[in-house]
A and B are shown apart, each in its own frame.
Chain A
Amino acid sequence: MIWMDFDQMLPVIFMALMGLAMLIYVISDGYDLGVGMLLMSATDAQKDVLIASIGPFWDANETWLVLGIGILLVAFPKAHGVVLGALYLPVALMLIGLTLRGVAFDFRVKAKAQRKAMWDRLFFAGSALTAASQGWMLGRYVSGFGEGWNYPLFAAAIAVALPMAYVLLGATWLIMKTDGELQEKAVRWARIAWAPMVAGMVLISLATPWISATVRERWFTLPALIALLAIPLVTAVALLAVRAILNTRLVRGPLSWLPFVLLIGVFILGFLGLAYSIYPFVVIDRLTIWQAASSAAALKVILIGVAVSVPAIAGYTIFSYWVFRGKARELKYA
C-alpha cells in the first residue's frame, strides 16, 4: 500500500466513521425496529414489556442515523446528492415511518385508553415501513443504482430480508431482556425470522460481485480469497450457532444473551464484507471517496470534534445500558 499523507487519509477516516455510525445505527435501531415489528404478535400486557425493553434507548439509537447521514452530508457532499437523489422516494417513506413510530411510542401511553390500539398499530406500521424502506435503499445502493428488470427485483428481495434481519435481532434482544411466556414467544419468533435473514445475506453476498466487476476482482483473486474466506465462514458458523442455541433450553436460562451477541457479530462481519467490496468507492464504480470529499480544512475541524465527543458518547451510552441492565421492568416516569 502506498503511504498517503494526512490530507489524503482524511476521506478514509471519515468513510470509516460514517460506516461505524451506520453499523451502530443498523444494530441498535435494528433491534428496536424489530421489536416494533413484533408488537402486534404480543398480548396487550406483553406489549408494554416490549416497549419497556426499548424505551430508554430508541432515541439515542436513532441519533446514530443522524450522525451517519450527517457525515455523508458534510464529509461527502457530492455523494450525498447522488445517493439521496436516487433514493428520494424511499427516503421520504422511511422518514414517514420513523416519524410514526417515534411518536406512537409516546402517544400510546399518553392518549385516551381507547386510542392505545390505534397507536400500537401505527407503531408497528411505522417500524415495518422504516425497515422495508431501508432494505430497498440498501438493495439499490449495493447494486450501484443500476437500471434493468433485475435490479428492482433484487432491491425488493432485500426490502423483505432486512426487516426479517431486524425481527431476528429484535427477537434475540427480547430473549435477553424478558423471561417466562414472553421469552418463549421470542424464541419462536427468532426461529421463524432466521431463514429469511440468512437468505437475504446470501443474496447480497452473491449479487454484489455479480453486478460489479470491481467487486468480483477484489474477492475472487488468489491469495486474497483464502484470507477473505474467513469472513463468510465465521459468519456462517455464528448464524448456525444462533439457530442451534435457539433449540436448546440454555437460551431461556444462562445463555439468553448469546444469540443477540452472536447476531451483532454477524452484522459486523457482514458490514466488513460490504465495506471491503465497496472501498474506495462511496458510490460503486462512480464516485470514490476522494472525489466526493469536502476540503481537508473542514474535515480536520470536524475530526477534532469527533475525537473529543465520540469517547464521551461511548461512555454515557454504556452508562445508560448499564443503568437499564437486566430484564425489562415496567417504565415509570421519575
Chain B
Amino acid sequence: MDALLLARMQFAANISFHILFPTISIALGWMLLFFRSRWLATRDPAWLSAYRFWTKVFALTFALGVVSGITMSFQFGTNWPGFMERVGNIAGPLLAYEVLTAFFLEAGFLGIMLFGHGRVSERVHLLATFFVAFGTTLSAFWILALNSWMQTPAGHEVIGGEFHVRSWVEVIFNPSFPYRLMHVLLASALTVAFLLAGICAWQVLRGALNAATGKVLRVGLTLGAVLIPLQIFVGDLHGLNTLEHQPQKIAAMEGVWDTERGAPLLLFAWPDEAQRRNHFEVAIPRLASVILTHAADGEIQGLNQFRDQHPPVAPLFFAFRAMVGVGLLMLATSWLGCWLYRRCAWRPLSLPRWLLWGLAGMTFSGWVATIAGWYVTEIGRQPFIVYGLLRTADVASTQPASMIGFTLAMYVTLYLALIVSYVSVLAYMAQKAEGEAEGEAEADAEAAPGSAPRAGAGALAQGLAT
C-alpha cells in the first residue's frame, strides 16, 4: 500500500476512535448539569444517584477523549505536514482558539466537577459543571468551523500557493458551518439519549435497577423521541446545502452516475466504479429528486460530470445508508418506547422484554450513525483536503510507508482493546450500581444505635456516629 493511503487510514483510525468520546461527553456534560439541577430543586435522591453514576461514565469518556485528542494534535502535523504550510494561516488560529478557550476550560474545571464536592460550595460546583459542559460544546464549535471551512471554503485568498484570511467572519461562518454544527450537536444529544436508555434497559434486564433507572430511562427515551425528528429535518437542510456546494458528494451518496431529472431513490445497489454503473438496484422512482430538490423532475448532477474530481462511490453510498438506517431505527424505537413506557405508567419493570433488549442493543447506535455520517462527509471531500482547492495527495507525509504501517498497527490494536474495555466496563458499572447503593444503605443501617457492628464501612460509620 502507498504512504498516502496509509496516512489517510491512520488519521481516519485516530479520528474515528476520538470522535466516539466527544460525541458522548458534549451532551452528557449538559445532562449532568440537568441531573444535578433536578437534585437541587427536588431533593429526590434518585437524581443524585443518577448524577453520581453518570459522572463516572463522564470521567471515563472524557479521559478517552483527551488522550485520543492529544494524538490528533500531533497527527495533524505528522500525517499532513503540507496542510499547515499551505492553510496554516486559517487552520492555525482556529485550532489555537479551540485549545485556549475550550480545552483548558474543560480540563481546568473537570477536577472540581468530579472531585470538588465538599470542598467548594454547591454553587461553585454547579458552575464548574457548567464550564465543563460549555467547554466541550465550544470545542465542537471551533473544530467544526475548521472542518466546515475545509468543505466549503470562504473568506480567504490564495497568494503564491498560501492561503490568507480575507474575512474571519466568512471563514468561521462559511456556508456549511451552521448546518454541520447543528447536525453534530444533535448527533451528540441522540447518542447520549440512546446511551442513557440502553444502559437503563440493561439494568432492568439484569435485575440491577436502582431508584434512578426509571427516571433516566424516561429522560433518554423522551430526549430521543423529541430530537430525532429535528435531526432528520436538520439533516435534510444539510443535504440541500451539500447539493448546492458539493454536488459530487451527493451524487456519490445517491449513486447517480449520469445527470438526470426525476432521479430515483436507491434503497439498495452495488456501485461499480470500474464500469461506472450500479448493480442490483432497488429503487423508488423520482424520490431522490423529490428529497433533494423538492421537485419531482428536479435535476441531480451525475458523477460523470466530475471525472477525477469525485470521491470513491461505494463507501459514501453505504455509509450514508447506514446513517439514515440507524436514524430511522432511532425514530421507531424512541417513539414506540415512549408510547409503551407511558402506557405502563413509567414503571420500567412493566416494559416488555423485547423492547428492553432492543434498547440495550441500541446503546451505542449513536456511535454507528455518527461514524457513518463522518465517513460520508469526510470521504465525500476527497480527493481534496480543502474542497476544490487543495488535494490531499499534495500535502501528505513523506514518511516511509513501512513506518506509517507499523505505527498504524500499534494504534489500531490499542484502540480496539480500549473500545472493548470501555464497553465492558460500562456494562459492569451499570450492573454494579445497585450493589454499591445497597452497601451504602447497609452502612447507614449499621450506624443506627443497637445494631451489631461488622467490619469495614459499618464499623467506621459506627465510630463516626458515636
Which residues of A are interface residues toward B (Cβ below 8 A)? 55-57, 59-60, 62-63, 65-67, 69-75, 77-78, 80-81, 84-85, 88-89, 91-92, 95-96, 98-100, 102-103, 105-107, 110-112, 294-295, 297-298, 301-302, 305-306, 309-310, 313, 316-317, 319-320, 323-324, 331-334
Contacts and interface: CB of A to CB of B under 8 A. Distances in A.
Interface string B407-425: 1001100100010010001
A69 B101 contact: no
A60 B70 CA distance: 12
A154 B99 CA distance: 34
A63 B104 contact: yes
B95 A70 contact: yes
B115 A310 contact: no
Interface in B93-116: 93, 95-97, 99-101, 103-105, 107-116
Given A67-B99, A333-B55, A74 B117 contact: no
A99 B425 contact: no
Given A60-B107, A77-B85, A89-B407, A298 B97 contact: no
Contacts of A77: 77, 84-85, 88, 92
Contacts of A81: 77, 81, 84-85
Nearest to B400: A88
Contacts of B81: 80-81, 84-85
Interface size class, chain B: 35 or more
19 contacts: A60-B107, A62-B66, A62-B67, A66-B70, A69-B77, A70-B96, A74-B84, A74-B88, A74-B96, A77-B84, A91-B74, A91-B78, A100-B414, A103-B63, A112-B428, A298-B88, A316-B105, A333-B117, A334-B116
A297 B51 CA distance: 46
A29 to B, nearest CB: 11
Nearest to A64: B104
B60 A110 contact: yes
A225 B64 CA distance: 48
Contacts of B96: 70-71, 74, 302, 305-306
Contacts of B55: 333-334
The binding surface of chain B is classed by DSSP as helix
Given A65-B70, A92-B411, A302-B96, 10 more contacts: A69-B73, A73-B84, A77-B84, A81-B85, A95-B74, A98-B67, A99-B68, A106-B59, A298-B165, A334-B116
A85 B74 CA distance: 11
A85 B81 CA distance: 9
A56 B117 CA distance: 12
A60 B110 contact: yes
A285 B66 CA distance: 35
4 interchain residue pairs of minimum CB distance: A56-B111, A334-B117, A74-B92, A102-B67
B125 interface: yes
A103 B67 contact: yes
Contact of B66 (A88, A102, A324): A102
B164 interface: yes
A30 B410 CA distance: 25
B429 interface: yes
Contacts of A88: 78, 399, 403, 407
B453 interface: no
Contacts of B95: 70, 73-74
B230 interface: no
A326 to B, nearest CB: 10
Contacts of B162: 295
B92 A302 contact: yes
B108 A60 contact: yes
A99 B71 contact: yes
A301 B162 CA distance: 17
A98 B425 contact: no
Contacts of A72: 77
Nearest to B81: A81
